[in-house]
Chain A
């Protein structure tokens, strides 16, 4: 089954056609990259997928269901999760609590149980704790368990954001420039992390990236956006050697 199907997506900002005729479909456990020059509309696509902006036309289906008229949090609960270009964490909360917020919908108990602390509360909280610890283990966040998110080193902040997104158990994870601001070594570590996420969590990943090493290293397919339109799409090695793509990036 396709986790994401996008057909002829388009959006206007005033007179500007920011995204035009964008189509893409992603299968389970696939790793796809979106590349393109700055201002090509990559983040706008993410914002359309997660309902932050409403599409002017076209259709988006997540796990076979249309996201029309759904708000951001409803779309997330349909199986999408995302990170942000400029990291957005709950800065004054501990690392483990950041992840526990992501687990909100997966382990439930009602308000009265929460306030009166019946035995169901303790059972569920234990499950929440266990799930959070498992996620932290994957990303090596255990040593930082009780740190405030704001005090984490930059690379760890990125990983925490990914861990929090994974906590919602998405079938498709959207990563917005995960390698931004990282040095080559950190980027290599990140590539390993992303591979690990793909394998261990059996999730599909769609990522925006400027770092061509990362794209070349892990993406199975690449979509190139330019001026809001798909310039070309296909297997990574083919696309990255395409002359039109090189022209869009480097000019004539």
Chain B
């Protein structure tokens, strides 16, 4: 970065058009309707140039689309961070697509039913060449309303992840498909179970994946300026808590944050617990900063920057969300409370014990 006389002024609100090509990731179990949704995207977005990367033999039959089949290749990074895995297959395929003169309007990645979404998301954080030309738009998880309950209940051997839980935890949008095959009480039950894992993702009921495409495309879920744009309801504990190890914890507290203490806390938290924290997002009020600080992370990787200015008279609030395994709400509440400049009374009892 260069420093010159103009950089002393705060940057203008982000009005620069992001020309990077959006990438949508479709996850979900075999039979959940990924290929149906993909075919709908290709049909209804007719005229757009779409490239599809498939990790599973699919039945995509649209002439306009370039379809590349690839075997999933998960690579550990040699940086001591065990959860910093990337998808080598995506790096080389996306790299090759970007070297073509033809610009794609959109890229869709259809993962296998057993795929872990983390390496896919982390690829966009870890590879500069990709991050500079492509934008991870959203992780869209398809769920079969009739079968998801059984998948979530499936007990895996020690050390093996339940992929359904992971795919729901990582999702920005969840398409609750095949709602015509279950009754309303079953739908309510499934929604409640999904909510218990991921309180942040919008749930879109569908039959034959007939979801409104605008709801799953151009979501900008990974853009920092869209973090927590949908006002999260999850901050109130759902009365319907299931016994699940993967949960969402939301923190919503007034006050200003001490930057040094925040860095120390968040740094330690992600370093020590990053394996268990799948996604994190937040909008914070840093002491002495007229702008919001926004961040979002996948496991140990975090991306943060200044957001919009706080408006005059606007309440300076801090909102954070963690989605992960074995999260301790009290510990997170207390940890964050300790970052505040003047620790105010918290809504949660954690403040007392802290």
A binds B: no
Interface residues of A (CB under 8 A from B): none
Interface residues of B (CB under 8 A from A): none
